[in-house]
Amino acid sequence: MFQKNTGILLILGAAHSLNHSLFLVLPPLLEVVSRDLNASFQDLGLVTTITFLIYGVGALVGGPLSDYLTGVKLVQISIALSGISTFVFIISRDLLTFGAGMFLIALWSSFYHPTSNNLISKIFVTNTGGAMGVHGAAGSVGQMFTPSIAYLVGTMFSWRLAFVFFGVLSILTSLLVGSIRVEESKSAVERPRFLEILKVPNLWLLLLFNVLVGLYYRGIDLFFPTFLSATKGFSGQLAALSNSLVISFGVIGQLIGGRTADMYGSTRVLLVSSLGVLASLLLLLLLPLNVFGVVLFIIIYGMSYFGHQPAMTALVGVVSPKNLSGMAYGVMFFFAFGLGSVSTTIAGYLADAISLETAFWSMALFSLVALIVAMAIQRVVRLKRIR
């Protein structure tokens, strides 16, 4: 199905992995960074919120740029400069310089997702969901090693070198991206039509769903290893490994989600995955046996959260006009990663003021609302006969 362009998907998968890996270094080293910078969880949660807000806002620029410039060149610039930005951490000795490093990483990384999704949707027209699934899964294969490697480098040497390690890998991967040869047409440069995107029928429900996904995912992503070590009695190394296992099951989820979206429709995948996320959080919080609940959470949450991604990206491509697809992906990413990033501040505040368990209950509440919106999407799309 993908033989002709397999190499493109694999290279973009590596770039995709490192785009996320730069943000996966912090969660397993959160307590170490907190002590070293004398910063509270709420402080680091606020920095992370600002980071992902920039990550989302930048996508509004990256999306339109991918409509008017070559996607390959924009992906290469994004990966290279985000990797170079990690060198700021070498001189980081306080929260301000740490925040500056995260800001620069987020700024350059923000161009990646709308650009790569737009590129893939144009190359793989008839099997978009499956291609998105392979792209996501290839990225996740690399990401699943990041928390464990970051924890190992960070505890043996320095948390700063953990960031730089993945930064160097990003720079090297940008050279591979430059070797991609794809015929891409450039549109005439014009003012990005942001307001036209907001008028697209049915897109608002998808954007609302993306905000809710961002609200539970960002909080879980940042605090899950700390939650395991602080409330479940896991060692730091085992907590980092658990984070890696979530992503490893995400590989399976993305492959299944992408294929299922092509076969049975994207809206069904969104509904099932949303139900799985809520169920996994309830199992984590309510089961009396800690290890059993954590294992079930890792499997169900990993497959459910990551499984929704190819279905969502394919669905946005279906409902959006082709001449605005880059902008549509940028707006989608902004809603998920930008507006949804406020959950790290919420979770950090609840963790400091009450408990980490309370913070995770708030994530469960967001996932419940996401399930309700997924039901609404299923109903509306079924009436409109859109897959």
Reported as a pLDDT band with limits 50, 70 and 90, residue 275 is very high
DSSP line for 342-387 = HHHHHHHHHHHHT-HHHHHHHHHHHHHHHHHHHHHHHHHHHHHT--
> Percentage of the chain with pLDDT > 90?
32
Span 209-235, pLDDT tens digits: 888 988 898 889 888 988 898 888 888
| pLDDT for 245 beyond 60 | yes
| pLDDT for 138 beyond 50 | yes
Q: Please state which of the ranges 86-100, 145-159, 317-331 shows the lowest mean pLDDT.
A: 317-331
Predicted pLDDT of residue 188:
45
Determine the 3-state secondary structure of 155 from DSSP. helix
CATH of 8-177+199-384, one of 1.20.1250.20, 3.30.479.30, 3.40.630.30, 1.10.10.10: 1.20.1250.20
Residues with Cβ within 8 Å of 386's Cβ and at least 6 positions away in sequence, in order, are 202, 267, 315, 318, 319
Predicted pLDDT of residue 189:
45
0.75 surpassed by pTM? no
Q: Please state which of the ranges 39-48, 113-122, 235-244, 377-386 shows the lowest mean pLDDT.
A: 377-386
| pLDDT for 191 beyond 90 | no
Q: Which amino acid is at 193?
A: R
Rounded to 5 degrees, φ, ψ at 138 are -60, -40
Residues with Cβ within 8 Å of 151's Cβ and at least 6 positions away in sequence, in order, are 28, 29, 162, 236, 237, 240
Tell me the residue length of the chain: 387
| pLDDT for 383 beyond 90 | no
Determine the 3-state secondary structure of 288 from DSSP. coil
